[in-house]
Structure 1
Amino acid sequence: MTIEKVVDFQELSLFLSDINKHKNSHIGFCGEKPAEIHQTLKEDFIGDDGDVTFFIARNNSGEIVAAIGLDIDETTAEVWGPFNQTPSVNLQHELWKNILNANPTVQTFEFFINKENTQQNMFMEEIKAEKTGEHLNLEMKEQDIDGVREIKSTPFVQSDFQAFEELHNKTFPNTYYDAKTIKERLNNENVLRVLKTKSNELQGYAYFEIDTEMEEASLEYIGISDEFQNKGLGTMMLKEALSEIFSYPQINEITLTVDNTNSQANHIYMKAGFKPKDVLISYRVDNA
């Protein structure tokens, strides 16, 4: 068995695609389509210095049998892996040691592991990872959507920003995209829609991203202001966002990740046509 840094992203993409299709070896947010994985590897797993942040293990026949990689953002990294087709626990520890030694500036490592991936959930115990949450992956096919006849939300404009920022920060504190980041990301395929009263008071918003090249879309955020809760506006914004997403002919399914303990929100998603796909457990390791 040999451990080395990745040279061929195409070969790695095919390996990850194959192993990630099975719940008992699935790692969250890595995807299952080789082209999608290949694009993400090129964009997120090469450092500013050109160094690749992915290690693989090969068997004596030269085939990839295990892998681990880091999507690094300053001192925090999302871990892709460990992926392991062998029963060897020692192999996982060797890969983990290699990735740690190669990235000494990373202080926090975040993992997202399928609940049915027993091997890697046990590995989390072995490296004393802290469990930080449980997340439900939902999926909707185009034929399952309950569309809307009338769109009541409008595209975001600059004058909406202050109210949007206040609502977004309150609804999703410490999230991965703050309000300013969302505004900066907006384009023809990254869409922010807002719902307002006749007097221009912000009632809610929905932000979603569409990648027509990869034929995928993600519903990132839906927020409703406290004073407008329990009036069906969340369900309405959800249906409007889904209707717009599926208006792109390249999109025929959408996935969504939510807190598995938020039964009220999850009921709304399932009522709109989403179906449960995977349960992911999130972990955190702080590098002392």
Structure 2
Amino acid sequence: MNISLATITETNEIAKFIARLNQQKSTHIGYVGTEFEEIVATLEDDFVLENGHLSFVILKNEDDEIVGAIGLDIDENSAEVWGPFGDSVSEEALTILWQTTLEQFPYVETAHFFVNLENITQQNFIEQLHPKKTGEHLTLTISKENFVPLISQRLVPFQTGDEKDFESLHNEQFPNTYYDAKTIITRINDNNKLLLLKNEQQELQGYAYFEVKPVFGDASLDYIAVSPKHQNQGLGTLMLKEVLQEIFKYDNIIKINLCVSNDNDQANHVYMKAGFKKENILLSYTLER
């Protein structure tokens, strides 16, 4: 067995390995997609280091085949952990792989994990590190063919000056989540959109944040929330339908993914009524070094 810091020349090999494992619930990691091309693009965009390496540590067998991998999508001193991915490797091997990853990136102080409920091997590995479990999440999906378009629209794009109200509502509604308010704001671009719902007095009633990857025909609705002050007015359903319509404007988007808290039965009922179907249950953990 050989453990090493991956190089950019191994990008395709890593992507192929991850895509194969991530299509199975028993080896599925929530931060990662399942399509080879999408994984390659993300590795090239978010994991390339200045020295020609990737922020990925890989384990190869005697035949020089990847059988284990851990990647870090690093943002300053914190990181989302891609993995650990293991193909019939021991917990001891995963532990050595993780220790090597920490040694390679000593400045990463906080690690976030996002693992499928049916991925028992990785759950057991993560839990023996004694992290803080931060939530249980449900991923849902809806197809364009099941959506009925709307005529009017009330949602408006996030603008400078909205930071305080948005941060207050987001942190209140999602106190222990994978993207805090500041992270969401930094991720906004032409395809990552934060839309707000305001009343005539310009009070923030709710918001939705979604990301679209047109090249891959993929979209995810990461957050949608209504202020407690404005609940029970049908605003959640209104926002949900408007967001779906906005995303389905992309010609090659044929389905939308949504990640929500698994214990929010009232909200999840709204999603189901809108046509969403259950896909995965994911567990989130945070580990401080």
Query: Under TM normalisation by the shorter chain, which class is it?
Result: 0.7 to 0.9
Out of 185, 194, 197, which is 2:196 matched to?
Answer: 194
Stretch moving more, 194-203 or 119-128: 194-203
Q: Does 1:238 align with 2:240?
A: yes
1:193-232 → structure 2 map (5 Å cutoff): 193-232=195-234
Match of 1:20 in 2: 22
Q: Secondary structure at the match of 1:149?
A: coil
2:67 and 2:89 in contact (8 A); partners too: no
Post-superposition offset of 1:275: 1.1
Post-superposition offset of 1:112: 1.1
Post-superposition offset of 1:241: 0.6
Separation in 2, partners of 1:19, 1:198: 49
Q: Secondary structure at the match of 2:64?
A: coil
Q: Secondary structure at the match of 1:121?
A: helix
CA 60–240 in structure 1, closer or farther in 2 if over 3 Å, else same: same
Q: Secondary structure at the match of 1:83?
A: strand
CA 193–67 in structure 1, closer or farther in 2 if over 3 Å, else same: closer
Q: Does 1:251 align with 2:256?
A: no
Match of 2:90 in 1: 88
1:179-202, CA deviations, whole angstroms, 9 ceiling, x for partnerless residues?
666556544433343333345444
CA 283–162 in structure 1, closer or farther in 2 if over 3 Å, else same: closer
2:134 and 2:176 in contact (8 A); partners too: no
Out of 47, 54, 59, which is 1:45 matched to?
Answer: 47
1:23 and 1:114 in contact (8 A); partners too: yes
Separation in 2, partners of 1:127, 1:171: 28
Separation in 2, partners of 1:134, 1:172: 12
CA 92–148 in structure 1, closer or farther in 2 if over 3 Å, else same: same
For normalisation by structure 2, the TM-score amounts to 0.88
Q: Secondary structure at the match of 2:197?
A: strand
2:47 and 2:72 in contact (8 A); partners too: yes
Match of 1:271 in 2: 273
CA 232–127 in structure 1, closer or farther in 2 if over 3 Å, else same: same
2:135 and 2:176 in contact (8 A); partners too: no
CA 262–48 in structure 1, closer or farther in 2 if over 3 Å, else same: farther
Separation in 2, partners of 1:237, 1:114: 28
Match of 2:283 in 1: 281
Post-superposition offset of 1:258: 1.2
Match of 2:122 in 1: 120
Percent identical residues:
47
Q: Does 1:3 align with 2:11?
A: no
Stretch moving more, 244-253 or 171-180: 171-180
- RMSD between superposed Cα atoms in Å: 2.5
Q: Does 1:105 align with 2:107?
A: yes
Gaps of 5+ in 2: none
Q: Secondary structure at the match of 1:137?
A: strand
2:134 and 2:177 in contact (8 A); partners too: no
1:57-68 → structure 2 map (5 Å cutoff): 57-68=59-70
1:219-260, CA deviations, whole angstroms, 9 ceiling, x for partnerless residues?
233232333210101111100110110121111111111111
Post-superposition offset of 1:148: 2.3
For normalisation by structure 1, the TM-score amounts to 0.88
Match of 2:154 in 1: 152
2:112 and 2:178 in contact (8 A); partners too: no
Gaps of 5+ in 1: none
CA 68–61 in structure 1, closer or farther in 2 if over 3 Å, else same: same
1:156 and 1:193 in contact (8 A); partners too: yes
1:114 and 1:280 in contact (8 A); partners too: yes
Separation in 1, partners of 2:288, 2:203: 43
Q: Secondary structure at the match of 1:52?
A: strand
Provide runs of 4+ in structure 1 moved above 6 Å.
Answer: none
Separation in 1, partners of 2:105, 2:163: 38
Post-superposition offset of 1:125: 3.2
Separation in 2, partners of 1:123, 1:2: 20
Q: Secondary structure at the match of 2:54?
A: coil
